[in-house]
Every structure is written in structure tokens, then in C-alpha cells.
Amino acid sequence: MKEEKKMEKVKEERVTYSLPIGPQHPMYVEAENLNVYLDGETIVDVDINVGYLHRGIEELMQRRNYLQNIYLSERICGICSGIHSMTYCQCIENLLDVNIPERAKYIRTMVLELERLHSHFLFLGVVGYEIGMDTAFMYAWKDREFSMDMLEQVSGNRVNYAMPTVGGVRRDVPNHIIPSMLKKLNHLEKRTEYYRKVFLRDRTIIARTRGLGILPKKDVERFSIVGPVARASGLKIDVRRDTPYLKYDDLDWKVIVEKAEDSQSRVMVKVLEIFQSIKILRQCLKKLPSLDREIKTKVPLVIPKAEAIAITEAPRGELVYYAMSNGTDRPERMRIRTPSFVNIIYSLPIILKEQQLADLPAIVASIDPCFSCTDRMTLIDTKSGEKKTVDETYLKKLGERRLK
């Protein structure tokens, strides 16, 4: 507390100007508000004001049945839509304690890796755009269309694939699309090799990313930052390796770790992860024709009282779903912990400290912010004006009250 007050004083003395960025700003497509405190052009502190995109999905989930919730969870985020619905299905399968067919597991793994591909290409484009290098943006998004084509081939949709269902997947992957997918993967691999060179050697990119936005390893551990952002600071964590789900323990791939802790290493982690995704996809495509055709097991949709959890690795880090059932066809409580939430809220103030204002967009882009899954609710007592963020113990109490 003392330290906090001291910091406040230091902040007040130094700050000469405070600059609001957003909610509508060229820096990012989504509506969010950053309040940047400046000393001249140096950033002293940042306040993050989220909540513009809060849609109350956790509460909506309690009002819908288990099947309807698949499509609601898909619409938490348009970029990670596949992983959200798949983790949801996995969580409900854990509630029911059922196993899904082998072919369904391979198809799910495939869709997840395709999604990682398109998300990482999107990220490369956005970094290029924020640096001011529009060519990189156009190139990366042009190549991203190939991964979107593959998703469309597999699922019929570009963004919300609606592939998984509780107990398997909804559509099979026919054998005749495999050669054309392999061809596209070859093309993407060639292009990624090019991006690796560009993001490692290009002078413009080095000037705007190398040595900027340092996120020390000890802060990563302190704030439990997850995913590629943590891996770029030298922490070897990946849910796919630590607690394998689907087929990841049978496939041959490795966790990418960079040690430089700066913006460039965060970009490089993602570039190198694209190679790993392509490797995983090739193995899946090779394995698919030899598998049994069954893609779905039948499951009951009224679930007795139980609790379950599912953890997966989204393109941006660890994603956790918690479900509590109460004997009806609707969940009693769903809780979702998304990777962007920790990555944005905790790492932004650290990596932006003492940086130049002009570097802000590039540094913010380097942690790959995605706000649509981040927005949380703060309860404000309208009579006393008291603010209260909903925490674990409060939710436990609420849950206990409802179970009685």
C-alpha cells in the first residue's frame, strides 16, 4: 500500500500530459480505451479501460442448453472461434466422461492448427500495419487467405466454423481435398520462410521492434502471463505439451521459445510457430485416410450434477473453461478464462513503461491484443458509487447459495 502511494506521487510529479487513445482509434479495430500518462514523449503509465465489448456471455450460457451454447461460445471471439467451441465441447465431454472417436480427434486438431495459422498470419499483418509497413500487412493478409481457403474447404465457413459438437465433430473431411490442402501448405511454408527473413533482418522492423517493449521473465512468472508472450520471454510453457489434449502427444512438434524478451522475439515466436503448425497439419492429413469413418458418439444432453474443467492452448495462450451442471439441460455456471485477459491487463503497463509514444502501436500489437474475449464486468453499487470486481470467493458464495 505504501509503495503504491509512493508510486502515485512519483507519477503525479512526472506526468505532464495524459493522452486518451480510443475507443475508436486507427490503432486497432476493436473499441477499447487506453489512457496514457506522458512525460514529454515518454510513457510513464497506462490505464486500461475495457468493457466496450462486454456482452455478458457467461450469463447467457446459463440460460441456454448445452447444444445452443456451442454456437454461443464460438461467438466469443471471431479469430479464435474454433478453439472456444472446441474447449467448450471438451469441457462438456469431461462432465459426461465420454471419449470421442479417433477421427474426430484428428479433425479437431486439424481445425485448431488451421486456426493458429490464420491467427498468426493475421498477427504478422497487424504488426506490419502498426509499424507503418503497409506492404508487410498486405503480403501477410494475402497469404492468410490461403489458410482461410483451407478452413473453408474443411468446414464450409471462413470464420465461425461450427465444426465440433458434444461428442465429436459435425462434418467429415473428405479424402479428395487432401492433395489441394497439401499444395497450399507448401505455398504457405515457402512464404513463411520469407517472413522469417523479413522480420529478422529488415531494417525498418528491427528499428521498431528490437529491444523495445521488454517483458522480463520474472514478471511473466509473477503475473502468470501465458502463451506466445510468455514463450517469447524464455518461459517454456505450452498446454499442448504440458497437459496434452486431442492428438498432440502423438504428433511430432516442438515448443518454440525465444530468449530476447522484446517485441521482435514475440513476433519471431509466432513466425516459427507457423512452421510447427504446418508440420502438425501435414501429419494429420497423412493419417486421416487410414482412420475409421466414425466421427461422432451419441451423448445425453441432460447432465447430472457435476463439475468439470478443460484447458487448451489457444493461438494466444492458455484457455480454461469451467462448467458446473445441475441435472437439467442447462449449465448451472460456466466460467471462461481467456489468454488475452491476462496478457493485456498485466503485461501492457510493464512493457509500455519508459517507451516512446511513437512506439506504442507497435508494442501493443506485439502482444497480439484481442479485446472481444477480454471484457469483464465490474459491479458498481449505484447508491454508494462503490466499485467491486467480481472475484472467485464472491462467485463461490453465489454458487453455494444457488446450490442450496
CA distance 112 to 394: 34
CB 198 within 8 A of CB 190: no
Here's the x/- map for another protein, 111-150, by CB under 8 A: it reads as -----------x--x-----------xx--xx-xx--x--
Nearer to another protein, 136 or 181 (CB): 136
With CB under 8 A as the contact rule, the residue among 16, 18, 24, 378 that binds another protein is: 24
5 phi, psi to nearest 5 deg: -65, -40
* Best CA proximity match to 315, nearest among 118, 50, 96: 118
With CB under 8 A as the contact rule, the residue among 75, 170, 217, 287 that binds another protein is: 75
With CB under 8 A as the contact rule, the residue among 44, 79, 284, 367 that binds another protein is: 79
| Other CB atoms within 10 Å distance of the CB of residue 257 | 17
Stretch of 25-33, 101-109, 185-193, 252-260 lying at the interface with another protein (CB under 8 A): 25-33
Does 163 participate in binding another protein (rule CB under 8 A)?
no
CA distance 355 to 359: 7
CA distance 257 to 275: 13
Does 291 participate in binding another protein (rule CB under 8 A)?
no
Nearer to another protein, 160 or 204 (CB): 160
Does 76 participate in binding another protein (rule CB under 8 A)?
yes
- Number of amino acids touching another protein (CB under 8 A): 40
CA distance 86 to 110: 12
Here's the x/- map for another protein, 30-49, by CB under 8 A: it reads as xx------------------
With CB under 8 A as the contact rule, the residue among 14, 23, 39, 350 that binds another protein is: 23
Length of the chain: 404
Here's the x/- map for another protein, 55-74, by CB under 8 A: it reads as xxx-xx--x-------xx--
CB 16 within 8 A of CB 38: yes
Going from the C-alpha of 284 to that of each of 46, 84, 251, 262, 289, the distances in angstroms are 44, 21, 8, 33, 10
Residues that bind another protein (CB under 8 A): 23-26, 29-31, 51-57, 59-60, 63, 71-72, 75-79, 81, 122, 125, 137-138, 141-142, 144-145, 148, 158-160, 370-372
